[in-house]
Amino acid sequence: MADVIIVPHLHAGGAAAATLIAAVLSPKPDMVLGVATGSTPLPIWSALAAMRLDMSRVSAFALDEYLDLPPGHPESYAAVVHREIAVPLGLNPRKVHTPDAQADLRDAPSAYESAIRAAGGIDVQVVGIGRNGHIGFNEPGSSLSGRTHIANLAAQTRRDNARFFESFDQVPTRCITQGVGTILDARRLILVASGRRKADAVAAALEGPVTASVPASALQLHPDVVAIVDEDAASRLSFADHYRMSAPHGDAA
Ligand code: GLP
């Protein structure tokens, strides 16, 4: 069972997650941080940046990347991670990794797995959740033990991400993503979710059966998961009161 922290709003959630990351960084300045794109984790990066920690020795690995975008496209996750995470946190660009969408796709997935292994594995992985229960770009039906691989994006995900492109048609149809098994290898996971449109996915992920139909439900199998969700995203949880009382990081709210 994950520790579930229900916060009134995303800002408090960002501060709570940043505190957890800082606690790992303090004894291990060269920690390996798993970063996630999307809007939900943004308050984590701004809270971490505000702490003014020396993160120059940190290695970072993104969960996923679009395929078929021109190199340097501003919505490629390489560009997004650089702009929204690496620069504000003061990460060393040479230590920031996204799956290489421009490489030979026969080699890119295993190369990414090797790079994570060579860095010593991920200490803390931040994970968002899709409305359809995806983590990274592991859409419903993905193997719960999968490794980094090439996959197709669900139509729902393309619609949700169309806001970052000029039109739905411009949203790539393919991606390279850490597999659910890769994600579960991280030593600690922080799941973040916000808003009513995530409420069903959050309830299915945290309280439903572990099933490939909801890839995020695999997080229930991990021994060290903290889910930080706002009131709206928590609104379909059956045991919300229990979580509130048992939340170990009471300062989060
Ligand atoms: C994209 C990312 C996912 C992320 C999701 C949620 O699809 N590939 O890793 O979980 O967005 O994004 P948001 O937090 O903006 O809802």
pLDDT digit string, tens, across residues 195-238: 999 999 999 999 999 999 999 999 999 999 999 999 999 999 99
Annotated catalytic residue, options 65, 84, 113, 139: 139
- Supply the pLDDT for residue 1: 61
Low-confidence ranges of the chain (pLDDT < 50): 245-248, 250-253
109 within ligand 1 shell (Cβ under 6 A):
no
Ligand 1 atom closest to residue 64's alpha carbon, by position in its atom list: 8
CA of 251 to the centre of ligand 1 (A): 26
CA dist 206 and 195 (Å) reads 16
10 φ, ψ to 5°?
-60, -35
| Predicted pLDDT of residue 244 | 66
Q: Establish whether residue 202 lines the binding site of ligand 1, counting it when its CB lies within 6 angstroms of any ligand atom.
A: no
pLDDT (0 to 100) of residue 253? 40
- d(CA 19, CA 33) in angstroms, rounded, equals 14
Question: CB atoms < 10 A from the CB of 143, how many?
Answer: 14
The residues near 157 (Cβ < 8 Å, ≥ 6 apart) are 130, 132, 134, 137, 139
Q: Say yes or no: CB of residue 98 within 6 Å of ligand 1.
A: no
130 lines ligand 1 (CB under 6 A): yes
With 0.85 as the threshold, say if the pTM is over it.
Answer: yes
| Spatial separation of the C-alpha atoms in residues 37 and 45, rounded to whole Å | 10
DSSP 10-61: HHHHHHHHHHHHHHHHTT-TT-EEEE--SSTTHHHHHHHHHTT---TT-EEE
Angle at 205 between CA 199 and CA 206, to 5 degrees: 90
Test site for ligand 1: of 135, 160, 177, most ligand atoms within 8 A of the Cβ: 160
CB 191 within 8 A of CB 225: yes
Examine the residue annotation and report whether 161 is marked as an active-site residue of this protein.
no
Find residue 151's DSSP bridge partners.
175
Separation of alpha carbons 209 and 95, rounded Å: 37
Specify whether the CB–CB gap between 109 and 99 falls below 8 A. Answer: yes
At residue 246, the pLDDT reads 46
